[in-house]
Structure 1
């Protein structure tokens, strides 16, 4: 019984170490390849690498972002930090891209392009937007 517990603990620790290593920080710039695990979504993968889910879909030719599968290898596009002269806006609950664009005096499409947003209605509270 004691031997079984030691083996079980060793396997558990090895599993945790492997998971921690696989989620290590990605390189700062350049393409990255991600092997999809069961239960992951493009949004969760995007959050992991700091890249918009639609940018990942576009880079991999995925038409339906809800259709990815475990074992699939995805190219994570390069994530470049915004230039320092851009402003950052944190989206508040109830704000729209049009309202934010009017506030800063820029086009909503310019904000969408700067943030890799395909649909002007797909922003959420707490999202960080680069204002060009």
Structure 2
């Protein structure tokens, strides 16, 4: 299983981190760099014939949907909020990270955001 590293910050997308919606000024190379990807990754995951011809509003896949994410906790984060941000269940995040108390996460702590549900 592959893991993608995301650092929590204001620049971290608040939507699912598997897609990026192109805005004016975006380039495919810049998008790849933002998400710590290669241009080849984005070309493999998207039906793009010419990497120089992306359109404003176009949705770009920036992660393989089967990848777990490694997220670094920042001030103000909660497990419940992260679950909502990433479209996951808080119980799955708690289970994969072996959190006894979801209210006890700390700034700088690394959490795995699982690609698949794990808790029953």
TM-score, normalisation: structure 1:
0.43
Q: Which has the higher contact order (CA 8 A, sep 6+)?
A: 2
Q: Give 1 or 2 for the bigger CA radius of gyration.
A: 1
TM-score, normalisation: structure 2:
0.47
Higher fraction of helix? 1
Higher fraction of strand? 2
